[in-house]
Structure 1
Amino acid sequence: MTFQNMTFDQRYRAVQARDHRFDGQFVLGVKTTGIYCRPSCPARTPKAENVQFFRASAAAHAAGFRACKRCLPEAVPGSPEWNLQGDIAGRAMRLINDGVIDQQGVSGLAQQLGYSTRHLTRILRDETGAGPLALARAHRAQTARVLLTQTAIPISDIAFSAGFSSIRQFNDTIREVYELSPQQVRAHGHRTAQADTATVDLSLSFREPIDLPGLFAWLAARAIPGLEFANDSSYERSIQLPGGPAWFRIYSSPNPSGDLRLQARVTELQDLPVLMSRVRRLFDLDADPVAVDTALASLPAIQSLVAALPGVRVAGCMDPHELLIRTMIGQQISVAAARTILTRITTGLGEPAPDFAPGLTHLFPTMDAIAERGSTVLRGPKAGQNAVVNAAKTIATGELRLGFGDDPAEQRRALLALKGVGPWTADYVRMRVTGDPDVFLIDDGALRAGARRAGLPADKSELLAWSTQASPWRSYLTTHLWRAPAAPAQSQQGDPS
């Protein structure tokens, strides 16, 4: 159940029950105190007549409310609605979280979405209760709080790394949102001891349950040597960000709390919010696993699959361009074969990894490098080589724009226009780049094998018709069927990158 289709009474009952499932999906402002809280706040439940609900914390800020110091409403996962929604508001929120306003301004955001600044502002105010600048400001405040409370980065550096244009703007915003100075926010923090001051070590929030072993295993099977490394409890890689190369490691904490943590080093501190946002997308940390599992478990044929793997996530990606190339290379071959080819092009065309990326040697090649020299390292049928080089060229020249804020349907059409890209490839990329939760890869051999093992229809048209019962969570159904109890080795198409 999402904010849009909940009534006031349903939201209020969630608050009365202190239901953690709705944390991050909406906040409530208390008119008598001027404070806004997450639904599960342990404070006494206010009277219904004193409550005002907001879809986004930015809307609560704009209405004059400040964040609760007790429940810390910003310290929760984001709303899964922005992936569920493929409309302008959902696309805009994904781009705002990826730092587009900080890098290009509101006009840059509007241009990417194909709307005028005025019209985009009106849409966001209608949908979220706040305009694009207010939403970006709230995102900066949330980032700043994380960095203030969990790192030793100097406060003046945090101001600019979080996206603020001046120290004064930073101080004013933090005081307004949290009713505390940046120094006071820092004093409330719990920083982890770090090996060096240049490496940040942050806790990542998520909704339980979460299938972390499955995510780590999935990434480990596809890790490109020199670019990535993964085992049963961690994943690390080098990545090119707007300000330069970066390195990060996601790992399960050995502490009793068992939390998920992010270690990272960046060339420019301003890239930290971008990195944090993309890591969350990679691990699908803003998903609502209870809603997904409840819906899928209502289908008798897959109840046992859902019970065996609660909290399954759909892996996103760190770089949409890279994902397209990886998917095209792996679309007709096994995971192992794709990994061999991808290792060759990474070591042959990729720039050196930064010195602060321990044990890693390369960055993934740029689209320019693949377009210019891809044919010298690619192997296999000439048509396949040409398709990969051509795809890189269309991205390098700007003919194809591929990003997190794409309209899913338009992205699919643009990809299908490329030679060598069929429906499976376009849908796989759409699922992982836009976070569309309702993609069902009907042409995937591994999915159909898993469906047969689960006792689902073998006929493609019958299976596709059956899958509509799982809407809007068919991307999660796809993941469950990929991981259905094993049979002898099958073709791994459908999950190559």
Structure 2
Amino acid sequence: MHTDTERCVRAVQSKDARFDGWFFTAVVTTRIYCRPSCPVVPPKAENMTFYPSAAACQQAGFRACKRCRPDSSPGSPEWNQRADLVARAMRLIADGVVDREGVPGLAARLGYSARQVERQLRTELGAGPLALARAQRAQTARLLIETTALPMAEIAFAAGFSSIRTFNDTVREVFALAPGELRARARKPAGAAAPATPGVLSLRLPFRAPLNPDNLFGHLIATGVPGVEEWRDGAYRRTLNLPYGHGVVALTPHPDHIGCRLSLTDPRDMTIAISRCRRMLDLDADPAAVDDRLRSDPLLAPLVDKAPGRRVPRTVDEAEFAVRAVLGQQVSTAAARTHAARLVTAHGERVEDPEGGLTHLFPTPEALAALDPESLALPRSRRTTLTTLVRHLADGSLRLGAESGWDEARARLTELPGFGPWTVEVIAMRALGDPDAFLPSDLGIRRAAKELGLPHTPAALTARAAAWRPWRAYAVQYLWATDDHPINVIPA
């Protein structure tokens, strides 16, 4: 979008927050870059230039605006609606792969050479993987500086910097302030409170409005696995299995942000934990684009107008969700939770949760690969499905992470015993994050379609849904929401 100068200028002049994260405005006279909705008086059009990423702005010698904080805007929705090389690379960078494994590790996960990855990212984003990872480290550093009392040395390494000097130099270059000056200028957001528990970080996760939390949090709560997830004091809480340790997160919906309370055993996991929570809640979605497309169908339009901004509830762990999808085949939500809870108790790692009732991490594929199939209270065919899945996940022959191509992952899943279209598509929707995944055979979808006057046989509904592409996964949320089911309601 940044190449459409006229459209970008209009967005900046109208301070349109819908475009925050889509592009960045660099002002050539001040050498400052901003988000489109920056509250200051817009510069003259001839003094604006536009970049596709904060990293590209920094590479060009611009520093971040101190008013609009462009580094903290929602991420571009592009990376969650595509599965090409650049989109998969951006999801992996957000997950901290460059910091942990370097550019060679990023390229290996993607199946391309480092030179090809570098070239593609520079062509589309104006910056290579190292610059993009550096911009992310700077954003993380700023967040920790302004919202915690951690010593600067701890912040430097938690944000992924290799040395205190690199941390200091980067913060000064990007924000035109030393770390100490940045902390001194910080203002506590309205309504924010100091954490009641030492070691707990309190953050605000932005999103593009509107956001309807009912089906998003309702789904996570209704299907939550005891010991791993819970609803407590108005927050969805769950344990997180992370590269350097584990954590507990509490996520609370607010009208203009998601409150996030995060406790980690290793602060280096903070960026990764935030990225995974944003992905689980689909916070980088573009609801205007989604809802405009779905409103074009006169039978869907009333559902969209009644409760706009529905998101697709996703996951913090793709392998975990795949296991849970198998456990949920042809059983009730309550039965699926019971099966999952038994696995967690028998094979999950125990954790301490001083603030609530979380007790375990969900078991890894490696842990589940060693289980005795006879110990599973499942039909024999489903035991085979589950044990085959975890074996392939554990040995790496099946990958469902951020590096996965959606079509390739679908093909690999279809090859496994017991994986029909419903299971493959629900994994594509909630684990892989494909915004066009569709479930025409789902009973709830067919019932809703019939009540609305839509075709309700799988083939006919699929044909009608072609007009909803590439947002059919969001149409699923609107159709599911017509049912009186706990997944559509946040508990009082």
Inter-partner Cα distance in structure 2 for 1:374 and 1:414: 24
Equivalent position of 1:27 in the other structure: 24
- Residues 374 and 389 of structure 1 are in contact (CA less than 8 Å); yes or no, is this contact kept in structure 2? no
Matched, 1:151 2:152: no
| Counterpart mapping for 1:291-370 below 5 A | 291-356=289-354, 358-370=356-368
State the secondary structure of the residue aligned to 2:70: coil
What do residues 99-130 of structure 1 show as CA deviations (whole Å, max 9, x unaligned)? 11111111100000000001100000001110
Inter-partner Cα distance in structure 1 for 2:313 and 2:52: 25
Q: Give the deviation of 1:405 after TM superposition.
A: 2.3
- Residues 31 and 63 of structure 2 are in contact (CA less than 8 Å); yes or no, is this contact kept in structure 1? yes
Q: Give the deviation of 1:433 after TM superposition.
A: 2.4
Inter-partner Cα distance in structure 2 for 1:419 and 1:188: 58
What do residues 385-413 of structure 1 show as CA deviations (whole Å, max 9, x unaligned)? 12101211111122222202211111111
What do residues 372-431 of structure 1 show as CA deviations (whole Å, max 9, x unaligned)? 115254212111112101211111122222202211111111111222212222221122
Q: Give the deviation of 1:232 after TM superposition.
A: 8.5
- Residues 206 and 256 of structure 2 are in contact (CA less than 8 Å); yes or no, is this contact kept in structure 1? no
- Residues 22 and 77 of structure 2 are in contact (CA less than 8 Å); yes or no, is this contact kept in structure 1? yes
Equivalent position of 2:454 in the other structure: 456
Equivalent position of 1:193 in the other structure: 194
Mean Cα deviation higher: 127-136 or 231-240: 231-240
Inter-partner Cα distance in structure 1 for 2:50 and 2:215: 36
Inter-partner Cα distance in structure 1 for 2:233 and 2:214: 6
| Counterpart mapping for 1:60-459 below 5 A | 60-191=57-188, 192-230=193-231, 233-252=234-253, 259-356=257-354, 358-459=356-457
What do residues 134-188 of structure 1 show as CA deviations (whole Å, max 9, x unaligned)? 0000111111111111122222111111111111111111111111111111122
What do residues 166-211 of structure 1 show as CA deviations (whole Å, max 9, x unaligned)? 1111111111111111111112223431113311111111111111
Aligned length: 483
What do residues 264-303 of structure 1 show as CA deviations (whole Å, max 9, x unaligned)? 1111110111100000001111111122122212221111
Amino acid at match of 2:468: A
- Residues 245 and 354 of structure 1 are in contact (CA less than 8 Å); yes or no, is this contact kept in structure 2? no
Q: Report the TM-score when normalising by structure 1.
A: 0.94
Amino acid at match of 2:118: T
Equivalent position of 1:11 in the other structure: 8
Equivalent position of 1:495 in the other structure: none
Q: Decide which of 31, 34, 38 is 2:35's aligned counterpart.
A: 38
Mean Cα deviation higher: 272-281 or 43-52: 43-52
- Residues 442 and 460 of structure 1 are in contact (CA less than 8 Å); yes or no, is this contact kept in structure 2? yes
Q: Give the deviation of 1:354 after TM superposition.
A: 3.0
Cα 1:196–1:337 shift into 2, 3 Å = closer
Inter-partner Cα distance in structure 2 for 1:156 and 1:423: 50
The unaligned stretches of length 5 or more in structure 2 are 488-492
State the secondary structure of the residue aligned to 1:36: strand
Q: Report the TM-score when normalising by structure 2.
A: 0.94
Inter-partner Cα distance in structure 2 for 1:190 and 1:197: 20
What do residues 286-343 of structure 1 show as CA deviations (whole Å, max 9, x unaligned)? 1111221222122211111112221100012111110110011112212111111111
- Residues 98 and 277 of structure 1 are in contact (CA less than 8 Å); yes or no, is this contact kept in structure 2? yes
Cα 1:239–1:374 shift into 2, 3 Å = farther
State the secondary structure of the residue aligned to 2:263: strand
Mean Cα deviation higher: 437-446 or 93-102: 437-446
Amino acid at match of 2:451: R
State the secondary structure of the residue aligned to 2:299: helix
Inter-partner Cα distance in structure 2 for 1:374 and 1:404: 30
Q: What RMSD in Å do the two structures reach over aligned CA positions? A: 1.8
Q: Give the deviation of 1:25 after TM superposition.
A: 1.0
Cα 1:107–1:293 shift into 2, 3 Å = same
Q: Give the deviation of 1:468 after TM superposition.
A: 1.2
Q: Give the deviation of 1:461 after TM superposition.
A: 1.8
